Amino acid sequence: MQFLLKGSLALASIFLFTAGSYANQKEHLQGTITINYEDHIGQKGFSAEHHGNLTYQLTDQKGQSYEVLLDKQPQWLQTGQTVRLQAQRHNQKLTTSSNDLSLLQGGTESTSNVQALQSQEVISGNHKVLVTEVNFAINPIVRFSSSQLSDMLFNQAHQFFLENSYGAFGLVGDALEPVTVDVDTSVCNTSIIADQADSILRQRGYEPNNYDHVMYVMPTHPKCTWSGKGNVNGPRSWIKRFELSTVNHELGHNLGLYHSNKKECGSVTTNSEHCSIVEYGDYNSAMSSTTSSKHFNGFHKEQLGWLPQQMIKITDNQTITLSPLETQDNNLKIAKILKGTNSQGQLEYYYIEYRQAIGFDASLASEFPQFLTGVRLREAIADSANSSNLLDPTPNSNSYDWDDISLDPGAIYQDAEYGVTITILSSDANSLSLNVAYDQSGGSQPDPQPEPEPTTNTAPVANNDLVIISNKNATNIDVLINDYDAEFDSITISEVSQGSKGSVQINHDGSLTYTPSKRFKTTDSFTYIISDGTLTNSATVTINLHSSSDGETDEGGSTGGKGGAKGRK
């Protein structure tokens, strides 16, 4: 078999190769995930121009970055998590299934069908923000002064978040003079832009990693055509359209929020297999396509921990009164109404809040005056961050039936499938009263789904490895990188033999350390056994010492490493 070697043997302490062919097989990779949202929002808040791109980036242990293409979004996945995946690699893109993705926590591995999402911590206190305009060497135009950046972030956005959080959360930090980066502007590569900008900021005495958020305002990049881009549950954002609504939206992503969408189900409100999700469609929420400032909806405020005492969870017959969402008081503001358990075994809830044209919701008076006497109906799934959907409780009422979705006093919404009835009793500028009633089936589970057919478990595949070392020091070997399991079960090393001329140790991260003894001359071998929890398989690792051109070995102070090319060409 021929192997394609990358790099020079003289420059690396070891090279690890697979002893088999891996054409058309998935590679095993491990690294840190970053989730980004690119927001393409048109100037008109409700136009069809809007679309968002949710992207995943994996940075491996060597600092190499890949775009990860997933079949669906794993609800448990968060920026900053260390994951292991099996994927087909095409240049810098990895194609995989969410079932091939597992979370590594404390040295242990959990599959994606295990709920790994922890409850969101309360977002409170003042977050430090570092903001600067970034322009480009090819055309270094400056659009905004540092005082304009400061006013937007530490006055307008700060007041917005103070009002939304009822005084719990705000923004402080530093607004700097522009930085000029020399990057290829024929492509939109925000990672390279951020890296170069960060380097310049460090030269000026500002360490970006010491801030909770870093915002790059870049209005002149010709190929970054979105209005804004932000890490989801991460520190960085890039702003193309420097407006308050964009700044609030991208910081919302940084805090872990996804979009406020709407659910179109044709002639019914919900509970249909023929519904479609319209991204950004919950247009009176900050995480929608709104181009004017508006409050976060109740589901998102719950995620951020801003309404622990002002939200009531309703599971039986009850009458309640809500005060406007925008006011800071001790009254109830959100009704979280148990709907029931869906066919996937997930709890679903209706969310109701009462909105008035107050503070940063003042634009409701001109944009949606018909909404100020009633409430809108939203739906979300428990422990699913990306499930906030506005509903139409009056479907097929007219040609565009999203203009009359408000439930005003006297309106009754009935969910016959789950046995929930919501009646709006009264409203004025200060409060709204409603009643929730359940029939005998209310909150119950749908008919049980048939048990899935049992699957056959096959043994994991362990492949022989060849390790070439350039000295007789201890060497770390990642033998699992070319082993796999057909059912994508987690695999671990359960046992190793000892070499005849060296010792072998299992490390906590699943790698092995081979230490040559004094008897080691040029070659040795040992075996290891892998397990998927039920079945096992074994492979052999062969150690060869590479000699330099004059026939002598390199006895220098190399510490070994995790090989290079894997022979999968």
The reply to whether 235 and 354 lie within a common domain is no
Cβ–Cβ under 8 Å, residues 337 and 349:
yes
pTM: 0.73
93 found inside a domain: yes
The reply to whether 229 and 345 lie within a common domain is no
The string of pLDDT tens digits covering residues 151-168 is 999 999 999 999 999 999
The reply to whether 392 and 319 lie within a common domain is yes
Residue listed under structure tokens 């048990």: 451
The reply to whether 431 and 331 lie within a common domain is yes
Domain limits for position 398? 261-438
The reply to whether 407 and 273 lie within a common domain is yes
Cα–Cα distance for residue pair 435/432, rounded to 1 Å: 10
Q: Provide the 8-state DSSP code for 359.
A: G
The reply to whether 166 and 218 lie within a common domain is yes
75 found inside a domain: yes
4 found inside a domain: no
| Structural domains counted in the chain | 4
434 found inside a domain: yes
86 found inside a domain: yes
In a 3-state reduction of DSSP, which class is residue 156? helix
| CA dist list (Å): 195 to 182, 240, 402, 428 | 11, 18, 44, 53
In the predicted model, residues of the chain with pLDDT beneath 50 are 1-23, 45-48, 107-108, 111-119, 444-452, 549-569
Cβ–Cβ under 8 Å, residues 257 and 251:
no
The reply to whether 412 and 362 lie within a common domain is yes
Last residue of a domain, one of 111, 146, 166: 111
What pLDDT shows up at residue 562? 38
Residue listed under structure tokens 């595949």: 461
The reply to whether 414 and 514 lie within a common domain is no
294 found inside a domain: yes
Burial category of 301 from C-beta neighbours within 10 Å (exposed 0-12, middle 13-18, buried 19 and up): buried
What pLDDT shows up at residue 457? 81
The reply to whether 428 and 360 lie within a common domain is yes
The string of pLDDT tens digits covering residues 16-68 is 434 343 345 678 889 999 999 999 987 654 444 678 899 999 998 888 889 99
Which helix (H) or strand (E) element contains residue 160? Answer: helix 158-164
In a 3-state reduction of DSSP, which class is residue 100? helix
Could you list the beta-strand ranges (E) of 240-286: 261-264, 276-278
537 found inside a domain: yes
CATH assignment of the domain containing 491:
2.60.40.10
230 found inside a domain: yes
Last residue of a domain, one of 87, 111, 135: 111
The reply to whether 215 and 318 lie within a common domain is no
Contacts 24+ apart (CB under 8 A), 301-304: 301/164, 301/165, 301/325, 301/334, 302/334, 302/336, 303/120, 303/256, 303/257, 303/385, 304/120, 304/122, 304/123, 304/165, 304/169, 304/255, 304/256, 304/257
Cα–Cα distance for residue pair 564/179, rounded to 1 Å: 37
Last residue of a domain, one of 213, 236, 254: 254
The reply to whether 297 and 403 lie within a common domain is yes
Locate 438 and state its tokens. Answer: 């359940």
The reply to whether 195 and 63 lie within a common domain is no
β-sheet bridge partners, residue 219: none
